Amino acid sequence: MKLEIKLTLVGLLCVSSLFAQEKASGYVYLDHNGNGKRDKQEPAIAGVTVSNGMLVTTTDRQGKYMLPVSNDNILFVIKPAGYSVPLNRLNQPQYYYIHKPSGSPELNFKGSKPTGKLPELVNFALEESKEPENFTALIFGDPQAYTPQEIDFFAKGVVSEVESTKKALFGLSLGDLAGDDLSLHQPYIKAVSKTGLPWYNLIGNHDMNYDAVTDSLSDETFEANFGPANYAFNYGKAHFIVLDNILYPDPRDNNGYWAGFRKDQLDFITNDLKTVDKTKLIVLAFHIPLLQMGGETTFRPQDRQQLFDLLKDFPNTLSISAHTHLQRQNFYTAKDGWRQKSPHHEYNAGTTSGDWYSGELNAQGIPVSTMRDGTPKGYAFLNVKGNNYTIDYKVAGQPDDYQIKIYHPKVVALGRNTAAAIYANFFMGHQGNKVMYSVDQGEWKPMVYEEAADPDFIQSLGRWDNADELMAGRRPSGAEKSTHLWKGSIPVKLDAGEHNIEVKAEDMFGRIFTQKSSYRLEAAKEIK
């Protein structure tokens, strides 16, 4: 432990020494003609924040900033509301400058090329944008393609649905953009560019350089392809903070990874929030959820607590994560270290790869890839209204209003009690939601919340296990307990024939969703 402390102090001294060697400066300016260069008549903009990934400064009255840099820094402007940043031809936001004079170290997947001497001025262009306070962002969880074929599944099964969408202002992918093969970052970028939206990205554990010897070098390829792994931007009355929350190698045993933050990342959050109006909606985006799952310390506790401490004076907050290939709503209260009366909501998003591109093939020849909790693969829309929000989950290949999956027997014996039940998987639901059902437009009855495996998903596994011939594709993973499943009894003392079921559910935002189904009652068949 003493050795570790000494090494940390030496490292901090080295960083301080490097920072003292050089200072970057430049202007944030209004790029009237969009050529990416500051022309004589283009004014600089005062009061815009710029960062080196740890420190955050604000441009002065002349629109100028100054920041220390080391031999491994990315400088970036924090996009203010009412402005846009330039995009490259693949719709990637160009808001940063990589400063790595010697380039990245030699790794299995290439990082940044040597950038050479620091320019005299590192300027950042902005363009004025009519940006509404009420807007929508498109959210993708874990595209995570391991092969070119899976990139194709992602492009055809998800991206094609939202190409040229008018609904969203920008998009954000929540990590695991590729599945360990970082050469697939470029095909991923090309695929997601077809949305036609400015597209932001964050790093997942499958986007890392696994041959890196320290955590600070595990994002070299990600940085070369996407820019900084920790950054921020503003839209309307919302402030987004995008973070790398994977510690690699795991500091506990130098084996695998752990969820948490380095000190420089926490410093960035601290310094960034000092510049943010406390009435804004703070949206934190990272890959691994904050939840301590199954009694396992999956997130370094002191890092989560420090994050919660930093947010204590911001009454409007939301976290969004992915990683689990499940969908759930997590709420953090005082017992978790949250320091406000109202719980902190984390949306742990369903994924665009679903259960890693597994399962039976649909009409397009794409794996249906239902997740282990019964959530169909899909994507989300984050709807921001001032400093409030709602979230819509869109099942890929289904209508917008498909929010509940109903499971029950097709035919039941008339008048005979049965252990079978009506199940409702409310994809965006959580314990405490009100879920009701009615049969034949009769009395509405409450359904009972139950954390259990989704029976429809279990049935899909049975089709693979009982098939006489090998099925195309890959068998899905084993079932996990769903956190959005409700159960009701099947009425059997009705007339023989068809009976209609309707389920309605109210989400955390007070919105009502319905889904219908039917079953048949037949006279019981006697055993001869």
Q: pTM of the full predicted structure?
A: 0.94
| Unique residue bearing structure tokens 């790398």 | 244
Same domain, yes or no, for 377 and 443?
A: no
Residues of the chain with pLDDT under 70: 1-21, 294-295
Q: Which domain holds residue 23?
A: 2-125
Residue 130 lies in a domain: no
Give CA–CA dist 486/454, Å, rounded: 10
Same domain, yes or no, for 372 and 468?
A: no
Same domain, yes or no, for 167 and 228?
A: yes
- Domain final residue pick, 395, 430, 455: 395
Give CA–CA dist 432/429, Å, rounded: 9
Same domain, yes or no, for 344 and 272?
A: yes
The pLDDT score that the predictor gives to residue 172 is 98
In 10 A of CB 46, how many CB atoms?
Answer: 13
Contacts of 103 (CB under 8 A, 6+ apart): 111, 112, 113, 114, 115
Closest among 140, 148, 223 to 184, alpha carbons compared: 148
Spell out where 408-458 has E strands.
411-413, 421-426, 434-439, 445-446, 448-449, 452-453
CATH number for the domain spanning 413: value is 2.60.40.10
Same domain, yes or no, for 197 and 179?
A: yes
The pLDDT score that the predictor gives to residue 343 is 97
CB half-sphere exposure, 256, CA atoms < 13 A: 5
Element (H, E) at 51: strand 49-51
Contacts of 78 (CB under 8 A, 6+ apart): 48, 49, 50, 51, 56, 231, 232, 233, 234, 272, 275
Same domain, yes or no, for 380 and 295?
A: yes
What is the 3-state composition of the chain as percent helix, strand, coil, each rounded to the nearest 5? 20, 30, 50
CB half-sphere exposure, 382, CA atoms < 13 A: 31
The pLDDT score that the predictor gives to residue 166 is 84
The partner residues of 246 in beta bridges, in order of sequence, read 259
Same domain, yes or no, for 250 and 336?
A: yes
The pLDDT score that the predictor gives to residue 31 is 95
The pLDDT score that the predictor gives to residue 10 is 35
Same domain, yes or no, for 241 and 290?
A: yes
- Domain final residue pick, 125, 152, 170: 125
The partner residues of 238 in beta bridges, in order of sequence, read 235, 281
The pLDDT score that the predictor gives to residue 52 is 97
What's the structural domain count of the chain? 3
The pLDDT score that the predictor gives to residue 449 is 98
- Domain final residue pick, 92, 125, 158: 125
Q: Could you report the per-residue pLDDT of 351-400, keeping only the tens digit for each? A: 999 999 999 999 999 999 999 999 999 999 999 999 999 999 999 999 99
Same domain, yes or no, for 373 and 428?
A: no
The pLDDT score that the predictor gives to residue 175 is 97
Residue 291 lies in a domain: yes
Same domain, yes or no, for 79 and 7?
A: yes
